[in-house]
Amino acid sequence: RLKPFNRLQVILQHLKMSKHTDSTAEVLLEKRGGAGIITLNRPKALNALNFSMIQQIYPQIKTWEKDPETYLIIIKGTGGKAFCAGGDIKAITDAGKTGDRLAQDFFRGEYMLNNAIGTCKKPYVALIDGITMGGGVGLSVHGHFRVATEKTLFAMPETAIGLFPDVGGGYFLPRLSGKIGYYLALTGFRLKGRDVLKAGIATHFVESEKLPALEKDLIALKSPSTENIADLLNSYHAKSKIDQEKEFVLDEHMEKINSIFSANSMEEIVRKLKQDGSPFAIKQLETINKMSPTSLKMTLRQLREGASMSLQDVLTMEYRLSQACMRGHDFYEGVRAVLIDKDQSPRWKPAALEEVSDEFVNDCFKPLGNNDLKL
């Protein structure tokens, strides 16, 4: 039996550990073996990212990056349904309406975190099991490794709420093959499971039930290099057979997507879709017609410009756009229609693409002087 003093030590040690793994905390940050592990822990909110989570994750990544005993960083979500379904949009909406600083601080903090992930010197492994949208994409896509499962559901649905595919969307989307990124950005199309890998968003595909074993093996690696980590992920990937034979969901449409979405303007994309007239084209028209015309124009330009920019310059541009959305009408109306009243019938202003002037779009991209995001 333990001597009384030892028993007290064990209890204290346990209390110290449980402080970090407190199940009520919104994000758990712990060190296991050579791995720093970030666990998004708001399962009821589908692990949506709020400001306090950003404020905890950012300094922890910076600390682990400098720590010689930390060899990799793993990020995952709890609850089995979502990795992270997005940013805490409702809080941002409330802040924007009242002129609260959160409408600036949230985006600034989030984009700084996206950049910290994109520039992280330690291998960063995101286990994107379940819903991964918006802000959740920003927490994963800029890292070295993104592991999708059969439960992964990826989308950038921002144009439906009067926003734009931010969190570095202007960087990674135009770099996907062909015009897939433009298509995903403008229509909010959802990719599932292995298709997330085939689109070039995930780097590996591993069956969901194998993730705990994969995590254990990653933690057990002794001072691993990026190559060692890649080898381990490759070995799990090679053993995953689910949907191996299925062709990419967009394969049959890629020719159309590449030709239509290479147009220089939203009006031209719409014209090309009408000309095409196929069931696929008609479906895309229906989708695009539901989106905020302002968001569509902003997004097309964001991607076209982002295609040749660094991640840092893209995030600086996106911060300007985020603040333009906070000043505008469509974001609040989109959130009302989709997330609050859920009537799914937003009244956009302006209501048609032709009414969104180039001057207005140009204004959204203008530098903010001292308020610009500096990375």
Give me the active site residues, please: 87, 135, 158, 166
Task: Specify whether the CB–CB gap between 197 and 148 falls below 8 A.
Answer: yes
Distances 332 to 10, 161, 288, 308, 329 between C-alpha atoms, Å:
52, 8, 19, 31, 6
Buried b (16+ CB within 10 A) or exposed e, 175-192: ebebbbbbbbbbbbbbbe
Helix axes 266-276, 293-306, angle to 10 degrees: 100
Sheet holding 191-192, edge to edge: 82-84, 131-133, 153-155, 191-192
For the record, the structure tokens of 229 come out as: 């980590």
Rg over alpha carbons for the chain, rounded to the nearest Å, is 22
Sheet holding 204-205, edge to edge: 27-32, 35-40, 72-77, 124-128, 145-148, 204-205
Distances 343 to 88, 290, 333, 335, 346 between C-alpha atoms, Å:
20, 13, 11, 11, 8
List, as own/partner pairs, every contact residues 59-67 make where C-beta atoms lie below 8 angstroms and the sequence separation is at least 24, other chains included.
60/29, 60/36, 61/36, 61/113, 61/116, 61/117, 61/120, 62/116, 64/31, 64/36, 64/122, 65/120, 65/121, 65/122, 67/36
Amino acid identity of residue 79, one-letter, is G
For residue 134, count CB atoms less than 10 angstroms from its CB and return exposed for 0-12, middle for 13-18, buried for 19 or more: buried
Cα(156)–Cα(126) distance, integer angstroms? 17
What is 43-54 written as a DSSP string?
Answer: GGGTT-B-HHHH
Task: Specify whether the CB–CB gap between 233 and 174 falls below 8 A.
Answer: no
Main-chain dihedrals φ then ψ at residue 76, nearest 5 degrees? -150, 175
